[in-house]
Chain A
Amino acid sequence: MSAVVPLSDVQAVPVTSIEQQLSHIWSAAGATRAATFNLIIYRPEAPVGGLDQVVGVVTAQNPCRAIVLFPSAEEGLSAQVGAYCPASGGKSASVCCEYITLQVGANAPLGQLKSLLLSLLIPDLPVVLWWDAPINVNEPLFRNLEDLSERLVFDSAQLTDPMKDLPALAARVHGGSPRVFSDLNWSRLSPWRELTAQAFDAPSTREALFSLNRVDLQYAKGSENEAWLYLVWLTSRLEWTYKSHEAAENGLLLHFFKGEAQLDVNFQEVPTSEEQGPFSAHLVSNQFGTTVIRSSGEGHHGCLMIDMEGKGTSQVCQIAPSDENSLEQLLSHDLYTRKQDLVWEEVVVAIAQIYRSIDP
């Protein structure tokens, strides 16, 4: 069932008449407009059938003016406008949101697009850019849209060449950008990070964390970026420093050090059929046993499991609710978060360093 229902028919309008058309919709419909921020969305393809489900859910949960851009084979800029209300409220007594789509022709001047966007932003409200495509930080359209925004939401899982693109992103983060970065791939990892942390909350299990000897991290095809984020989050939190790597079967053998101690990481891709979920991690302490974090369901759904073997054995199953890692939920969560995630920044910069070492 759709999260929103249209308040009016979506209409194509000249780009100079967008505001007038929206005013007309509101005065005719008798609904209340709500907006707590401006959301600019860039997508590589046109949404099928008007408003797509993801944007519908997001706007129903986070009232905003949504401006969706996508490239078009047509010439110049063209626009469509509409308004949508949460399906639960219906059109009566609703608080509804505006939805503007801009088709950007290949020959459309960037300056014109930027000027148009500036005129369409609701004053005095934050601007969020959701770049729903692989990022190339040197792409002029990306840079122009980024300039307009206070927050950039993207998904590092979409990076086509992570070895090149992630260091480029990290350089921007490291360069003191005033922008808040939200990586949906990082948010997708939240249940994993939280559950891993929980496993070591009990003082009796903490020693196993501080005496790790080896980590075996196996990831399914397509989940490599996620696995890197998890691994480097774990090692950086434990203050392990990357030292070197060597090629291994289906992956890498990575070496980290802390003082005199060494941590070996087997970082391997395994066939999807062998891996339930994006990856699994075995945290091995020779002294205290092994902690296994894995998914018991398919993809990102179902349960995450922790198995703790060895001293202080206990087994628990904690849930990652099936819709928590949906794109809609991830986006909604990230739109609420206003602060820069310093840990993510640290992790991305550390991954970039490792990438540079692997592929100089």
Chain B
Amino acid sequence: MIRTLAENPLRDSSRSERGAAPVVMVIFGASGDLTTRKLIPALFDLGCERRLPSQFAVVGLSRSPLSHEEFRERLKVGVHSFARNEDAPPQVWDSFSKGVFYHSGDLKDPQTYVQLKELLAQVDKERGTAGRRLFYLSTSPNYFPIILEQLSQAGMLQDPETSKVIIEKPFGTDLETAQALNQKVLSVAKERQVYRIDHYLGKETVQNLLVFRFGNAIFEPLWNRNHLSHIQITVSETVGLEGRAGYYEEAGVLKDMVQNHLMQLLCLVCMEPPVAFDAKSVRDEKVKVLKALRLDGGVGGDLSRSVVRGQYAQGWAGSVQVPGYREEPQVVKDSTTPTYVALKFAIDNWRWKGVPIYLRTGKRLTKRVSEIALQFKDVPQQLFPDEAPSPNVLALRIQPDQGVSLRFEAKRPGPKIQMQPVNMDFRYGSAFGMETPEAYERLLLDCMVGDQTLFTRADEVEEAWRVVMPVLKGWQENKVPLTFYESGSWGPAEADQLIKQDGFRWRRL
């Protein structure tokens, strides 16, 4: 696809040098929220910024009986509510929506795919999409193997140059199911056709991690066991279930957040410099980190020394009193689904040996914050006897107030030596006033231009599952007690103990 675009002599001066070739995007599960709230607004915004090919179309597919027009109307509401360019002139939507089609069908019925193929051929004629397909699987994961098999049977995945598949999370529910799904995927498609999406990787600040680490010379020499005492990764949410009880009861915090988002953050922070900024090189390095990663329960691998699981009880979300998890609608009254987890990991390689890595994430916590903090070792000698310096911390904030801050000691003005920690702060919003694109915009465009760097590879997904499997198993065997924390707090007290046992404490965010 990139080769074809390079042949367009008008392209090499275009500001949108990441132009995509003509394509039809087929969304399975098109009546779901993701389509209305994220996918179509992202495509519309890409269109507004002329990053979509002129010859582009979307075909939505799901069970709901809708006409093309009804589907378009539904999407229009979503665009008005969620697109960045929601105030674009009406004729822009009119033009975009002419390329939107809908097909109703049973995903298990081969006839659905025969009809889909006919529709796509017709769309090719009308929109000039040249037989290129991008299949987006955003249904319940149970349907993934079925859709893949049916697409294959219908001959729609045969050509890796013209057909691609995006697979939404969750990718499997454990290592075994992830492996089975990978097997299915790779039995009908080549890895280079497959885009396992984790929208966290589409966030600007997550990508900035790579630039920060490998685009600056001053940080990398410090980025190892010689200088760092430990790393903390926090992803906290203030929200509860938000109507997703059915999904969350099955998934819980580990599958919802850790196996995917937090593992990706950990990989980007801990990976070695890739030899090039391309999909293979970056993903190779991420896989190496995951292979060296293990829960750190000390001698004997005591799970209770490396894992804390919690569930929110009633409390406060801002000024609103909120129920506990078990009181939420559609949640069983004795549910043991964890909504919080704190974990301690070790990485067995030269760079990170002896540097504990702490992860915590949960729902109904005090603040919505995502942050990676690298804490430096203490100074080797106390030069100022009356003053105990605070450790230096390099904090990479992902949300809110995306940016980087470095905490160091400064002398408080006055006649004697008094130290005070101060922050050197960089805020994305201050240095770059421009609006940042939504994660899905970046990822959909990457997929269209054939760049897999920000998507997870089969072995990467499986390695991430391998890392968290002992936790899942331990929970199933009840080796880690379920603790409870008040909504609006920073999680269970046991999580404080987890880090305190090593002489550290969670950052107050």
Contacts and interface: CB of A to CB of B under 8 A. Distances in A.
A201 B11 contact: yes
A316 interface: yes
Contacts of A322: 89
Contacts of A195: 50, 54
Interface stretch (A70-78, A231-239, A242-250, A271-279): A231-239
Contacts of B12: 237, 343
A193 B10 contact: yes
A306 B56 CA distance: 14
B10 A321 contact: no
A312 B54 contact: no
B434 interface: yes
B433 A200 contact: no
Contacts of A297: 89
B14 interface: yes
A211 interface: no
B13 A201 contact: no
Interface residues of B, number: 39
Contacts of B126: 314
B8 interface: yes
A163 to B, nearest CB: 24
B128 A317 contact: no
Contact of B11 (A63, A197, A203): A197
A201 B91 contact: no
A312 B50 CA distance: 21
A187 B20 CA distance: 21
A264 to B, nearest CB: 20
Interface in B272-326: none
B92 interface: yes
B149 to A, nearest CB: 31
A61 B431 contact: no
Interface string A177-221: 000000000000011011111111111111001000000000000
Contacts of B53: 198, 201-202
Contacts of B7: 203, 206
Nearest to B1: A201
A252 to B, nearest CB: 23
Contacts of A191: 50
B427 interface: yes
B15 interface: yes
B128 A233 contact: no
A196 to B, nearest CB: 6
Contacts of B21: 201-202
Nearest to B433: A61
Contact of B434 (A234, A237, A336, A343): A336
B4 interface: yes
Interface string A296-322: 110000110010000010101111011
A194 B9 contact: no
A339 to B, nearest CB: 12
A332 interface: yes
B50 A201 contact: no
Contacts of B95: 303, 316-318
A237 B55 contact: no
Contact of A302 (B15, B48, B85, B89): B89
Given A34-B430, A198-B53, A303 B128 contact: no
Contacts, number: 124
A63 B10 contact: no
B222 interface: no
Contacts of A312: 128
Contact of B14 (A197, A204, A296): A197
A145 interface: no
A190 B51 CA distance: 12
A95 interface: yes
Interface residues of A, number: 48
A318 B7 CA distance: 22
Contacts of B4: 201, 203
Given A314-B128, A317-B95, A332-B433, A196 B10 contact: yes
A62 interface: yes
Nearest to A343: B13
B94 A317 contact: yes
Contact of A319 (B13, B92, B130): B92
B202 interface: no
B430 A95 contact: yes
A200 B22 CA distance: 10
B128 A202 contact: yes
B7 to A, nearest CB: 7
Contacts of A336: 432, 434
Interface string B308-347: 0000000000000000000000000000000000000000
Given A201-B21, A202-B22, A205-B128, A194 B16 contact: yes
A60 interface: yes
Interface string B10-41: 11111110011110000000000000000000
A303 B47 CA distance: 12
Contact of A194 (B15, B94, B127, B430): B15
B77 interface: no
A206 B54 contact: no
A195 B5 CA distance: 14
Contacts of A193: 10, 13-15
Nearest to B50: A194
A16 interface: no
A95 B427 contact: yes
A36 interface: yes
B430 A63 contact: yes
A204 B7 CA distance: 12
The interface centre, meaning the residue of A202, A302, A321 with most chain B CB atoms within 10 A of its CB, is: A202
20 contacts: A34-B430, A61-B433, A195-B54, A197-B8, A197-B14, A201-B5, A201-B8, A201-B54, A203-B4, A237-B10, A237-B12, A237-B13, A238-B9, A239-B9, A317-B92, A319-B89, A319-B92, A321-B88, A336-B434, A343-B13
Given A238-B9, A238-B10, 5 more contacts: A36-B431, A198-B19, A202-B54, A322-B89, A344-B13
